[in-house]
Amino acid sequence: MFGVDDMSLLDNIHGPEDVRALPPEALDELCREIRRFLIGSLSEHGGHLASNLGSVELTVALHRVYDTSRDRLVFDVGHQCYTHKLLTGRKDFSAFREMGGLAGFPRPYESVHDAFIAGHASNSVSVALGMARARTALGADYSVAALIGDGALNGGMAYEGLSDAGHSGEPLVIVLNDNGMSINESVGGLASMLGRMRTRVEYIKFKKWYRNTFLPRIPGVSTVLSGMKQWLKERIIPENIFDDFGFEYIGPIDGHDIRKVENAVRWAKEYGAPVLVHVITQKGRGYPPAEKAPEAFHGVGAFDAKTGVPRYTGEDFSSVFGRTLTEIAGEDPTVAAITAAMKEGTGLIGFQEAFPDRFYDVGIAEEHACAMAAGMAAQGLKPVFAVYSTFLQRSYDMLIHDVALMGLHVVFGVDRAGIVGRDGETHQGAFDVAYLATVPGMKVYAPSSFAELRTMLRKAVLEDTGPVAVRYPRGGEGLFQTDTSGEACAVVRAGSDVTIAAYGTEINEALAAARTLYDRGVDAEVVKINVLSPLDTDAVLASVKKTGALLAAEEACAAGCVGERLLAAAEQAGAALRAARLVNLGGGILEHGAPEKLREKMGLDNGSLTRAVLEMLHGKDKA
């Protein structure tokens, strides 16, 4: 039923020109085939399912109107780009989101049809306006459109872009894909406004007609017609925010009626001014399990295509975090939880059910979440902001200005820290170790096991003061399952020849390498760092003074990494090192792929660490 081998129309789509050549009566069948392909492929490889099922007709319509090899189509977030990939010659999903295979987001290095990199929310309007202004400045000839969801429209940057774009006069089209969802149900005043909005395309046709027919011909008629237009507008459509921004507004349009969508987008493209097309879609469309629970099918692993049941389940750091925070909130009525549209991904659904009056989903608005948490802390609450490492980057100014300068007790649950994997470079948690270390007064815990996460989170919420972050990886724990959180740094394996320093779940690779090295005649001491900031270097320096050699392994970018700070401390302490090596994520730009493959590529797996130590101590010929 959901296989990928029973295609016919889709088999003959090799590029957007083939989509444009199809007769209108063939489009519905093409959309059905695309949905069958997506369900079949993603049941094997995982990915973003519900958002792509909901945007099939919309994407087909866009490719009927725009030539994306020349025109610029900018995706916001980009998790809804799978149909776009299928229609632009990328139907090989055999290694989807694996190293060497297709990325799960738009990537310009992958295709000329991908206008801009995507992965974070709310920037598409700004990027599209920049492209439109470049077109005008350079005298080029192409069209520009941005595709943004109602969830991404919650972000403040979207409004900065809309404010400028609407009054810019630049011909560009913003397509608002409104499905009432981001990852979870959309929240806030914007969601309510979109639910109320009604209009008619006839008004826009009238406005274009009178502008082209009367204004050039009859002097002085502009003032009279302007009043008539306003009178008519107020009776046909209610005021909406997009009018105020200066856009011509079309919608709402049934996003699954491909002919209506195509006609509206084509008209908007030809209008010659900023236009916003409001399209209503259903997340998970065409797949009953995803229609019933779209939030559960936003980002999926492999699943049974017939039932929708995941093939692999198990405990992970996010679920442990959520359960532990719920327990703490049961003990302390001042504990509150905040998420930026990620309550499921960060494990907070149980918290919301237990304490709905202390749970706050602010939508995709990380900057606002951080500043709001500061306000809560200033007035006596203990706010905990659960957020992915890559998205906390967006709150950097608030971390310093709103939280740190006043020393406020805000706790950050930094999820997906380190190598994330198949979502690629926009989602890897490579930079938080560096940027959190620059935040004044920030304490950063790095648990390696579920037990340590429970203990460290409890300390962060109930015992610490000032800003605190608890960073933990995606997925489950490894063989290391003990709790050493009583020490800032703990020696978890004694040795005499080399010191291996690590933290988080990388400790599993460090311990495995130490065991392998022992069989090769090298006795490695493994030091586990539990608190990254402020960094207590005593245990590491004591070990280094004994062994004379240091290898620091960490899933973090090289600039500002813990290893740099350890080397600086060793130099200041006069610890003579006969050998040292830092193994990390380099510049932090890491492609998509399975975490174990990425770890191997970056030299952070057991075998690579073993070779690095042998090379460091004995040279490459004996590694």
For 208-254, give the DSSP string.
HHHHHHTTTTSTTHHHHHHHHHHHHHHHHS---HHHHHT-EEEEEEE
Secondary structure (DSSP) of 333-345: TTEEEEESS-TTT
**Identity of the amino acid at 476:** G
pLDDT of residue 469: 98
Instruction: Say whether both 262 and 324 belong to one domain.
Output: no
Residue 384: inside a domain, yes or no? yes
Residue 231 lies in a domain: no
| Residues 441, 539 within the same domain | no
Tell how far CA 227 is from the center of its chain.
Answer: 46
What pLDDT digit, counting tens, does each position of 132-182 carry?
Answer: 999 999 999 999 999 999 989 988 999 999 999 999 999 999 999 998 754
Q: Looking at the domain assignment, is residue 93 inside a domain?
A: yes
Give bridge partners of residue 178 from the DSSP assignment: 280
Mean pLDDT calculated for residue range 238-251: 85
Q: Residue 312: its pLDDT value, please?
A: 79
Is 554 a residue of the active site?
no
Q: Please give the pLDDT value at position 576.
A: 83
243 lies in the same domain as 375:
no
C-beta of residue 427 within 8 angstroms of C-beta of residue 119: yes
Do 571 and 618 fall within a single domain? yes
- The count of structural domains within the chain is 3
Q: Are residues 292 and 380 in the same domain?
A: no
Which range marks the domain in which residue 377 is found? 317-471
Q: What is the pLDDT of residues 512-536, one digit of tens each?
A: 999 999 999 999 999 999 999 999 9
Told to judge if 260 belongs to the known catalytic residues of this protein, a careful annotator would answer: no
Q: Answer yes or no: are the C-beta atoms of 495 and 524 closer than 8 Å.
A: yes
Give percent of the chain with pLDDT exceeding 70. Answer: 89
Is residue 264 a contact partner of residue 253, using CB atoms and an 8 Å limit?
yes
Which one of 97, 394, 422, 474 is the catalytic residue? Answer: 394
Assess if residue 310 is contained within a domain. Answer: no
| Structure tokens that stand for 93 in this block | 């999903």
pLDDT tens across 391-413, in order? 999 999 999 999 999 999 999 99
What's residue 67's pLDDT?
Answer: 97
Q: Cβ of 443: how many Cβ atoms within 10 Å?
A: 20
pLDDT for 7: 63
Axis-axis angle for helices 506-519, 606-618 (nearest 10): 50
If asked whether residues 427 and 562 sit together in one domain, one would say no
Residue 113 lies in a domain: yes
Confidence tier at 197 by pLDDT (50, 70, 90): very low
Q: Would you state the pLDDT for residue 38?
A: 96
pLDDT of residue 229: 57
477 in a structural domain: no
Sign of CA dihedral 17, 21, 27, 33: negative
Q: What is the predicted pLDDT for the residue at 154?
A: 86
Residue that is written with structure tokens 């990494």 in the block = 561
Is the residue at 408 inside a domain? Answer: yes
From 64, 97, 107, 283, the catalytic residue = 283
244 and 371 in one domain? no
Q: Are residues 246 and 272 in the same domain?
A: yes
List Cβ neighbours of 588 (8 Å cut-off, separation of 6 or more): 428, 430, 431, 556, 557, 558, 559
Non-local CB neighbours of 219 within 8 Å, separated by 6+ positions: none
CA distances to 251, 255, 279, 382, 427 from 196, in Å: 12, 17, 14, 36, 34
Which tens digit of pLDDT belongs to each residue from 86-131?
Answer: 999 999 999 999 999 999 999 999 999 999 999 999 999 999 999 9
Alpha-carbon distances of 114 from 76, 109, 122, rounded to whole Å: 12, 8, 17
Q: Rounded distance, CA 177 to CA 368, Å?
A: 23
Asked about 283 being catalytic, the answer comes back as: yes
CATH code of the domain covering residue 415: 3.40.50.970
Q: Binning pLDDT at 50, 70 and 90, where does residue 201 land? A: very low
Is the predicted pLDDT of residue 221 greater than 70, yes or no? no
Q: Do 113 and 179 sit in the same domain of this protein?
A: yes
Whether residue 340 lies inside any domain: the answer is yes
Domain boundary among 444, 471, 498: 471
Tell me: do 512 and 407 sit in the same domain: no
What is the identity of the amino acid at 237?
Answer: I
pLDDT for position 193? 52
621 Cβ neighbours under 8 A, 6+ residues apart: none
Q: 344 and 417 in one domain?
A: yes
> What is the per-residue pLDDT across 279-289, written as a single tens digit (0 to 9) for each?
999 999 999 99
Are 470 and 460 spatial neighbours (Cβ–Cβ below 8 Å)?
Answer: yes
User: Which of 443, 471, 499 marks a domain boundary?
Assistant: 471
344/375 same-domain check: yes
**CATH number, domain with residue 531:** 3.40.50.920
Query: Among 439, 471, 503, which residue terminates a domain?
Result: 471
